[in-house]
Amino acid sequence: MSRRKPVDSQRPQNDRQLLYAALVLGSLVVVVTCGTGTLPSAQPSAPPPQDPVSVPTSVSEASTSPPEAPAPEVSVAAVEEPAPDPAPEAAKGPLGRFQAALRELKDGKRKRSIRVTWLGDSHTAADFWTDAVRQRLNAEAAPGGPGFVYLGLDPYRHSGFSISRDGDWQHIPGAPSTSSKTADGVFGIGGVRTSFGSGDAKLTLTPRSGTLKGTARWTLYFRMPDGKTRFRVKLGDKSKTVKAKHVGQIERSLLEGSASESLVIEPGSGRPELFGAVLEGSGPGVVLDTLGINGARVATALAWEEGAFVELLKQREPDLVILAYGTNEAGANYAVEKYRPQFESLMKRVRRAAPETSCALFGPTDWVKNEERVMAIDQLERSVATSLGCAYFSVFDAMGGKGSITRWAKQSPPLAAPDHIHLTPKGYQKLGDATADFLLGR
């Protein structure tokens, strides 16, 4: 049994922590092997399959899928949503719909929040790069909420929350970056499901000031193995016991309260499975979901059960989906062209969930040790993005091309981490500003 004190999940406390926050708090270990020793249950990641993984569906979905790829139903709790907005005005380019929606939100013509779904590897997972973009988009329109948050992972940070984790927790897959199917493969959109590992396990999520407008609307995703399993949630002075309505299927529990109230999750009985939570405000704004896994490749997401991924992404109604992979592919020995069908397969799943969404691929950072592969993957992703009708952001070019990671590491303060793969928080801030300019068409 272990017990941890509350930790500020956003702000390093001194210069040394500032330099290494991207490696420790964000679990940003060397990418080729990251995710293989940071948690007690972690196991070495299996190599990516030669072909995109396709697994049978085992959960259901609330609405009918396109006839070419039907899936069973997923049971979800009913929720009252704002009336749908009309389609954004016609706009040119792969990011046109997203940019038009942002203008409408800024002009007060849009009632629903703009949602950005960002899947990626350790560069994404630490929520420095993503939060830099989140803050720029919020400033452009309004903050819509911190978005998706993993439950019970350690180490883990999210810029929108102060997170306190007590007791023991367990997660599946043991090595979340694996590209092989694990258990039944049902991991929602986050790629991980967690459960209480001890009777004193507790998770407290406190939203940071200014992250949303209006009241706080929480959505918890869970699955119960039987009708006797329970867990408890508290929001401010309100509490409830959550139980299954549809045993063995992913459901959601909804709570609403003040933006300053903490959400507390505690065990009840049995072994509930938790698939993450989402926090949004009642007022429309921009919501960016950070869905990063240390060590992930694009094949990692293909190992997740497709039906659950598609249905939960459909519920998020994303206006923009970003696939930010490439660094771990650069560290592997497979032929670069092998990754083309994997990107295509993952984007096909995205299109099943959100046919009209804008999309973008973000390439790898510079990495001197594997620079030739970085450049090859950069060109591959550019080609794939064009063929899929998506935008492409070359992180390699944005950093300055060949040798840029070394130049960034020599800056004062450093912009790149000592491993010459990842960036420091200040480096991710700089990259985030360039990324936001790209998304905004500037």
Among residues 5, 13, 84, 2, the alpha carbon closest in space to that of 39 is found at: 2
SS3 content of the chain, % helix, strand, coil (to 5): 25, 25, 50
Task: Find out whether 142 and 284 touch, Cβ atoms under 8 Å.
Answer: yes
d(CA 162, CA 179): 31
End-to-end, the C-alpha distance of the chain in Å comes to 51
- CB-side neighbour CA atoms (13 Å) of 417: 25
Residue 377 lies in a domain: yes
Residue 84 has a pLDDT of 55
Task: State the DSSP string of 211-265.
Answer: S-SSSEEEEEEEE-SSTT-EEEEEETTEEEEEE-SSTTS-EEEEEEE-TTPPEEE
Closest among 140, 148, 125, 142 to 278, alpha carbons compared:
148
CA 126/CA 117 separation, integer angstroms: 15
- Is residue 212 a part of any domain in this protein? yes
In a domain? residue 341: yes
Domain of 215: which CATH number?
A: 3.40.50.1110
Distance of CA 384 to the CA centre of its chain: 21
Residues paired with 252 in a beta bridge = 221
Where are any strands of DSSP class E within 33-168?
114-120, 143-145, 147-149, 161-166
Phi, psi of 439 (to 5 degrees): -65, -30
Quick check: 217 and 247 in contact, CB under 8 A? no
Q: Is residue 70 part of a domain?
A: no
The answer to whether residue 31 is domain-embedded is yes
* Structure token digits, residue 72: 């069973």
User: In this structure, what DSSP letter does residue 173 have?
Assistant: S
Dihedral of alpha carbons 114, 295, 208, 188, sign: positive
Total domains in the chain come to 1
User: What predicted TM-score, i.e. pTM, was given to this entire model?
Assistant: 0.83
Contact 9, 100 (CB under 8 A): no
pLDDT of 223 reads 98
Instruction: Write the CA distances from 316 to 139, 149, 288, 309, integer angstroms.
Output: 22, 13, 11, 11
Q: What is the pLDDT of residue 9?
A: 43
The C-alpha atoms of residue 219 and residue 214 are separated, in whole angstroms, by 16
Angle (deg, nearest 10), helices 129-140 and 96-106 = 50
Would you state the pLDDT for residue 87? 53
Q: Is residue 405 part of a domain?
A: yes
Question: Is residue 71 in a domain?
Answer: no
Neighbouring-strand partners of residue 277: 149, 220
Assigned domain for 54 exists? yes
- Count other C-beta atoms under 10 Å from residue 193's C-beta: 29
CA 347, CA 325: separation in Å to the nearest integer?
Answer: 13
**Domain range for residue 114?**
15-64+93-439
Report the distance separating Cα 221 and Cα 151, nearest Å. 10
State both tokens at 324. Answer: 């930010």
Could you tell me which residues are beta bridge partners of residue 232? 241, 266
3-state DSSP assignment of residue 152: coil
pLDDT per residue, tens digit, the chain (442 aa), is 444 444 344 433 333 343 334 343 333 333 333 333 222 233 333 333 333 222 222 333 233 233 334 444 443 343 455 555 555 555 689 999 999 999 999 999 999 999 999 999 999 999 999 999 999 999 999 999 999 999 999 999 999 999 999 999 999 999 999 999 999 999 999 999 999 999 999 999 999 999 999 999 999 999 999 999 999 999 999 999 999 999 999 999 999 999 999 999 999 999 999 999 999 999 999 999 999 999 999 999 999 999 999 999 999 999 999 999 999 999 999 999 999 999 999 999 999 999 999 999 999 999 999 999 999 999 999 999 999 999 999 999 999 999 999 999 999 999 999 999 999 999 999 999 999 999 999 9
